[in-house]
Structures are given as C-alpha cells and as structure tokens.
Structure 1
C-alpha cells in the first residue's frame, strides 16, 4: 500500500476567521499538506519552532500584534542553524501592507497571498508552487543545482548564441519540448527602470521573478523565465489566440498587474519590450523585443513597447530632427553663457537648446553628444581655474552621473544640474551667513524629492556640516531636517489634490518608503495621509 507523505504546515495569523479559511483551503486543495499547528501572533509561533521541527511551510500574516510577520521571519532565520532547513514562507497581506511584504521578499519569502484573494483560484497555485519546491528539496542538492544550472544554460544559449536552436530535437515529455515544438512563440524582455544597487540585488530580482510567476499563473499563460544580465526574459509559448490584438490586450493586462505589484511590494517600475508572435527562432524574437524596449530612452520607463511602437514614434518625431551643426552651435552658446554672472542668461540659452530636439533618433549617438558636451564644459571650467573635483556631491564625477541616466529626459535634467553647479563654482564669492543659508534653502527647494542630506547640502554651499546646522537654528529658528520635512509635507499636500496614489506621492516628495512617509506625515499634521486626503475631499465637496 502506497504511503502518502504530507508536508508540515504552520499557520500564523491573529484573525481566527482567516486561519479557518486557510485550513479549509489547504484541506480541499488536493495538495500534500498537513496543518500541524496554528499561532495567533509571531511570538507564539516562535515559541513553537523547536517543538514542531521540522516544519516545511509557514503561512504568516504580515501585520500582527506583539511580533509582526517580518520580525518573525527574521528571528526564525537567526535561530535556524546551518544543519537545519528554513521552511518555505508564504506571506499573507492586505493591500496596504506592501511595505511588510517587500521586507518579507528580501528575507526570502516564496510568494504572497492578498487576503481579499483568499480563494481556491489564487491559493491552490501558490500551494502547488510550494509543493514543487519542497519536492525539489528532497532530491540531492548537487542534482538539483545541476539541473537548475543546465536549464539556465540552455535558455541563455537559445537567446544569446546565433544558430543555437538549429539541430535541437526533443522528444515529447522532455524538458522544453513544448517550448521548441510550438508554432506560436513570443518573447518579452523586462528590465528595472532604475539600475541602482537595490535594483540589481538578488532580493530585487527574486521579487520580480516571483511577481512574474504569480501573474502568469493567474492569467493561465505559459512561459519559461530566463535571466540574461540585468534582464528577465519571458519565452512565451502556446499563445494561440483569435488575433494578435487580443493577445496584446492579454499582455497589457498581465504587465499592468506586474507593474502595480512591483511598485507596491518593491517600490520599483519596469519597462517591457515585446516581440511579434509566430514561428521564428527564439533569438530573433528576443532581439526584436530588446529593440522595442530601447524606446524607453526616448519615451520614459514604466511602459510596454512593441516593434511597431518604434515605427510610430519615429514617424511622429522625424520633423523634430535638427542638423548636427545646429545642435553643436546651441551647445556652444549655452556653455559660453556660463561666463555671465547672471544665471538667467545660461538658463535661457539652455532652455532654447534643450527644446530643439536631437540630430538623430539613436540612443548611443545621443549619449555621445552629451559626453562631448561634458568634455567642452570641463575645458571651460579649467579656463576659469576650476576642476570637476571641486564641485559638490555627484557633480564631481560628471560622466558617471550622466551614465546613470536611463532616459533622455533624465540626461537633460542632470546636464542642467551640472551647468548650475559649474556656474555657481565659476562665480562663487565669499558669502555672509544669510547668503549661505539662502543658497542652502534654494538647493533644498529644488532637490527635496531626491535623497539629499546635510552632508550633500553643506558640500554644495562650501561650509562644514556643523556650521550649516548651526546656521539653520540661528538664522531661521529650526533644524535642517525640520525645514526639509516641512517642505516635503507641504509638497505632498499639494499632490494630494491630484489623482496620484499615496505611494506615488510618497516617492515624489523624497520618501521611497511609504510607511516612513506615513509616520512623518502624521507626526507633522496629526493625520495619516489617507485621513488628510479624505479631509481635503470633504472640504472640496462642502465648497461646491
């Protein structure tokens, strides 16, 4: 008689109704799970750790009294020795708990379930995913790692090596047989819009992969996911539909979900390039998708681009092209205007230059033109006995500063900031304490949405941190951080009158962590951001 093996599950949630719902769903899921215990908070669950070991799966609510889900995962990891295996973790969340879920992902959670979606359609695929990973764990680690590496190697070769697909013949049932035999193929290339240290981290990449897997499951779409450099690549098969327009609508819905969840749970956005569909080599489709995604440089991130997106865009932009000599002439006039003490002179010339367009609709050529402009700006600084190294903050490494720009709009913005820094350096004069404070406040007013610090601002105005800190208290009666906080909250209140979501407002005023923004906002105004927006809506209604 066959003996069934059940994986041991612990449910941690402070709401009995949700525990009951999970117990019912697990029992009726048909998956090999056995609930061995329930806990009403993190402290209680942690006390059960040794008693219940080994556990295979922990389903944990993020927001609980005494010890929340994030702290439970962190402490559980700390108390897990090298000889033990950490159980798989699935996070439970409500929509407003995305900050906690983000932290859970960073700590290695497999996936998350939104409580309003706690039904068979959403929970069973998650349990299947957990069971599949637990099955993999039972095999020898060397075999598991070897198969994973082999899979990655196969997919990378398929996408990056010309001719890799020819000669590959797989029997039905073999890995990737469906992928190679299907006549309906499509490739999507997904990349983070901000290539910073956090975007490139393993945790960030794992979050993207997990969100992609869950979105594909919910849409019933089949795809292999490959990692190629900083990109995630979806090799989609079995895409037979009534029309390519219908398929586009499906893809638009899929990536809208991906974009929304990434912003909620990782505070990041992505750009997606999609190939055409049909029976063509996977590499050819991949290169087509990459080309489509490159439109981000001109059109901005957070968008979905198709091959014909570029054709349409180039048609609308063709009349804006200017001769290269005209571009160079306006650049020279703008740089020469830096010699004038009045800053309005170079700002006016820059505005005229940046509004004229580019000589070519090509990213590399555009970047080359900005690099050439930097060399000329550096020569002008030397002619005035100044060096890049004397500029504050990121401006003393101008080529790195511009290389980090993902879009043309960012390049123009950052080049303008470099011109501003250069002009101030060229015309700097010893200032009174009032002049230093005015300059510091001007800088904060212009850059409050960035990660500015007292160190950065003091470097900008050319005084020590302690001196600037004392100046703020002496001349304006408030600390540096208080001035910046009041400014950001004031700007946030202005944005609440728009259609922007609260997490978008949070990031727009310099708080990438919405939970931190909420705490600061409530401390400053006495109301949470949601309550304050509701108050504004009520005032608006009463004034009608």
Structure 2
C-alpha cells in the first residue's frame, strides 16, 4: 500500500479529496495531511510518503518552497500539485522542480483524479525497476502527456489560458514547428482498456528509433486514440511531410505484422506554435476520418490526400420516413434498394464525414422503428437495437455502411413478408368486428389493440389486404348501412347517429362524397320519387 500525504490549507478541499477517492481500491492510503508547508515538511521528514499532493498557495510555507525542500531529502518522490488557472506562474516553477502531475481545482472529477493517481502509482513501480535519470531533470512523461492533452482541447479556452498552456509545453524537449499524427484504431479493435493503446505505443517505441532526427511526444486523447507530436526544425521543412508519411507507414506495417491490429494514420499540416496544436489535432483527426471514403489501414495527409468535404451541394440529404415505411410495408425490395443506392451515391459524392454520420443515424432510426412496429416482443426489439448500434459502430467505410443497410433493410422486408401470411387472419377478425360494431366509436389504436398488432403495422397490413385504409373501409361499412336505413321512415339525422356518424352535416357530406348524392336524394330514388 503506497502512502500519500495531502497538503491543502482549506479543510473543505482536503475533506473533499479524501472523500471522493476510493484509496483502498487504488492501493493507496492517506498517511497524513497538513494545512501548510511547514506542517507537511515535518510529516514528510518523519515518515516520507510515496506521493505528495500539495496546493501551491498556502500560509507559512507555500507549495513551491515545500517541493524544493522535499526534493532535498526525497528526490524521487512523486508530487502532484493542486492549482488554479491564475496560479500558472507558480505552476511553472513547480514544473521545473519535477512534479509528476497537476490538477486544476475547478476541474476536479473523481474518475479523472483516480485515473491520474493510478498512473502516478504505476510510474513508481516503473521507476523502481528502470532507475534512470534524476526525476526533475525534465518534465515527467505523465505531465507531458497531460499538457499535450490539455493543449489539443484548449481551442474553446481564452487566449490567456491557451498562452498559459503553451508556456507549460515550452518546458518539454519538443520545439515548434510541429506536426501531429493521429492513430485511429479500426472500430472493434481493442480499446484503451484492452491493450489497443499499449500495442500502438509499443509499436511506436520500436519504429521511432529509426528516425533519429525526429523529436516526438506520444499521448492519448480522451477516446484512447494515440497521437504523436513531431517537433524541431525538421517538422517545418517540405520533406518533413514525406518523413511523417514514412513513419506512419512503418507504424501501420508493424501493427499489422506484429499485433494483427488495423489502424489508420491521419497527419496534420505543420504548425508554427503550441497554441496552434488544437488546429493540428483537428486536421489529423479529419484526415483519419477520411478513411470512410478511401479505405482504412492507410496513411492520410491533411491537405494532400484529404482536402475537405466537396462543395457538391449545401442542402442536407433528406430522408423520407413515409417513403421508406411505404416501401417496406409493400415489400418493395427493389425500389427500396434503389432509394438507398441514391442516398449513398450522394454521400460518396459529397465526401462529408459528418453528413454520413447524420444520415446513417436517421436510416438506423427508421429501421428500428419499423422493427418495433411488427415485433410482438419489446425485449427482442431492444436487443436488436443494441445489436444494430454495435454493428454499425464497427463499420469503417461508406461502402461497408451501404452494404450493411442494404442487408438490414432486406432482412426486414423478408421478415415482413413472412409475418404477413400469419397476420391475415387478424385483418379478417378486425373486419368482422367493424361490421358488427360500426355504430360505435372506433379508432385505429383500439382496433389494432383488439387484434394484438401495433397501430402502424396494422394500418399498413389492413391497406395491403383490403385495398383501402382502415378509416375508408369503416366509412364504407357505415354508408352501406345508412343506405339500408334510408328506405325506412327514420330521420336522416337519426340514421347518421345510428351508423356511427352523429354530426348531421358531416354525415351528409360523407354520404354524398361516396354515393354522389345527398341522403335525401338517395331516399327519393329508393322510393321512386325522383
């Protein structure tokens, strides 16, 4: 169990940190706490911990002085600083003292804090085995990775905040101009928790030595995708693009041959400073996503192989749920395939990744909605939805998505054809009920519930079997009954009420629309008075 000393002048912050972390699960224990540097130094000198977590601004002895004093007696102790964004000048000095990581107080979240502590703990074991240089000769790897992660995410921050982060990055060995490589794993490959990230890091460690003139920093983004920042004067030269491409190719070959792992590498343009790293990251990610249109397992350079979405049209591709539903319910497989073919051809023409995501989601929603209409078991529908989402998430290219949707909709139509024959008796039962109870108020929802079919499915199946809609058929039944009653002495208004159309004006309107004459004209004809 590794020991931790926590130093923070505000009791509520110390209490919050102690309470929100599952220390035992991490293999850590808080062996002491202090409200200032003087108390903390006494604790550390008496019983040195493995990890020191300290605030920067404190009374009597601040965090910078404490770190300096601790380094004299415990040069290899892991140190994490608690900082506010406005304390950056203090943080720069702490970085020079060789801290392992830092936490912005306003951003503290239990999961992120625990993840950081787990990495710091792991670095203790690595240091015990590897030995190596003095811990504060340069910024530690954990801190460098966190700096780079914050830099690529700093696009929405203020200019002052971005400048502060860039100042921190200036303490790394990497110098601008910079180029970024984004390594995107094939969907379905092992993720960050299942060896995917470690396999890529190992492959990079084996490939990079062949490029001795290249300065590189490796870090993972929030999704566990590995990124490589290349720096130094070579990164700005025209031939550096070719060199980055060669590095990416070598990495992909190593991953395929040694790890059986397929990935795509996106490469950014060269940028001149750290504040432009978010732009380089966006370019590299956009280039990697372009695999959707040209294939996976390759190196794609932003501005060379990928130049952005084509300006073929600015209007969104419109998906018609009504048209899709009509073709599925009518079992028009050929027509539906042509419809989908046109949609995917348009997306291939535009080559817009975001557009493909939006349209694919809409097609998936329509697919699962139709299954929900015809399925009798809601749990099976939920299972199918989960299966569909998982399958679609693993598709890398537009051609794969197209083939998947073609097959999925074809399976739906074939299932629809199969259930039609079984459910025809339900339509006959509904028709019989309508003929016997036409005078009652009757809704599509009520009659579909009666025969245990979903409303949409029942409505479509009814029209397919009867050649007319539920409402049209019900209205015809009522008008036929009204014709018979018009031969009697009953008043027209009463007849409308008896056949389930209580509004006299509406009854007359519907009767004339169907028969071509008004109820009174029809009565006169029946009696031979016309």
TM-score (norm 2): 0.46
TM-score (norm 1): 0.45
